[in-house]
Structure 1
Amino acid sequence: MSRNAETTLDWADGTYRFRLSIEQLAELQEKCGAGPWYIQWALEAGALARVAGVAPPKDLAAPYVTETIRLGLIGGGMDAISALKKVRAYCGEGQLAQNVPTAYAILGVALQGAPEDEPTKKPRAGKTTAKTSRAGKSGSRTFTVQDKPSA
């Protein structure tokens, strides 16, 4: 399976494909004046603040949300004008906080990969052997604590 950092999410008025390529991550950094890992941190802090019912951190800027979603839509295959219109319609005034988790998810998949992208482990051929601990090889005495006898 290829690791293309793509995810499909229910957002706004439908289900959309999002993807941030290296070029889009560079554009995100340019538009926001912050690197993608910093933006991810700020989005995570904003999501946690929302759950806790407190104000988001001062470091969470509106473009972190809007640009992440817009560029993610473009990377997912939507044309730039449609993506801009969609973001303006659903990430406008009073709607930013509810879009933080979406932006966080898009950026998280771009930086860490999607769980479904994890390579599957192939079963080992032949016999497997148990690993011995370093203590088992040392020659030191081992003991176990026995339960107290019942009366």
Structure 2
Amino acid sequence: MSRDGSVSFAWGDGEHRFRLAIGEWRELQEKTGVGPAELLQRVSTGRWRVDDIRETLRVGLIGGGMKPLEALGLVTRYVDVFPLMDNVPAAQAVLITALVGPPEEPVGKREPAEATTEATEMDASPSPNSMAPEPS
């Protein structure tokens, strides 16, 4: 998995890269009729539809850099012929990675910025200290 929301794993006839960027998400919304969060929920809870699985994998392959006809060929070969349940974990992995990112990148945690203390900020200010007595 990488920072760009892509994931690579063995699927079908070999190792493949899947990625859903904004353009792929829009196509996927059009094909499935739902947005990203609802699609992930349907796949995760077992309430998916055929195109939820099929189109996630096809569009994910295209987003991962595969030519559209090649992606369609793989999906036809490995989704249309095999039991759909075989492909649910793969579709779920593509969706989760695209929405949440790789697990090695904790959500909401950023590198700490250089800490500055209030005293340092006050010392750097050209204004007189408001607590200091006025000069006589």
Alignment TM class, shorter chain as reference: 0.7 to 0.9
Residue equivalent to 1:149: none
Aligned equivalents of 2:112, 2:101: Cα separation in 1: 23
Structure 2, unpaired ranges of 5+: 116-136
Residue equivalent to 1:73: 61
Residue equivalent to 1:82: 70
Task: Give the percent of matched residue pairs that are identical in Structure 1 and Structure 2.
Answer: 41
* Aligned-residue RMSD, C-alpha: 2.3
Aligned equivalents of 1:118, 1:79: Cα separation in 2: 32
Aligned equivalents of 2:114, 2:40: Cα separation in 1: 41
Aligned residue for 1:10, secondary structure, equals: strand
2:39 equivalent to 1:3: no
Of 2-11 and 111-120, the range deviating more from structure 2: 111-120
Residue equivalent to 1:43: 43
Structure 1, unpaired ranges of 5+: 47-56, 127-151
The verdict on how the C-alpha distance between 1:75 and 1:37 changes in structure 2, with shifts beyond 3 A counting, is same
Match of 1:109 among 81, 97, 108: 97
Structure 1 runs (4+) deviating above 6 angstroms are 123-126
Matched pairs, number:
113
The verdict on how the C-alpha distance between 1:122 and 1:22 changes in structure 2, with shifts beyond 3 A counting, is closer
Residue equivalent to 2:31: 31
Report the Cα offset of residue 92 of structure 1: 1.1
**TM-score where L is the length of structure 1:** 0.67
Aligned residue for 1:115, secondary structure, equals: coil
Aligned residue for 2:3, secondary structure, equals: coil
The verdict on how the C-alpha distance between 1:15 and 1:124 changes in structure 2, with shifts beyond 3 A counting, is same
* Letter in structure 1 aligned against 2:78: Y
Aligned equivalents of 2:111, 2:81: Cα separation in 1: 49
Residue equivalent to 2:125: none
* Letter in structure 2 aligned against 1:99: N
Aligned residue for 1:8, secondary structure, equals: strand
Report the Cα offset of residue 35 of structure 1: 1.1
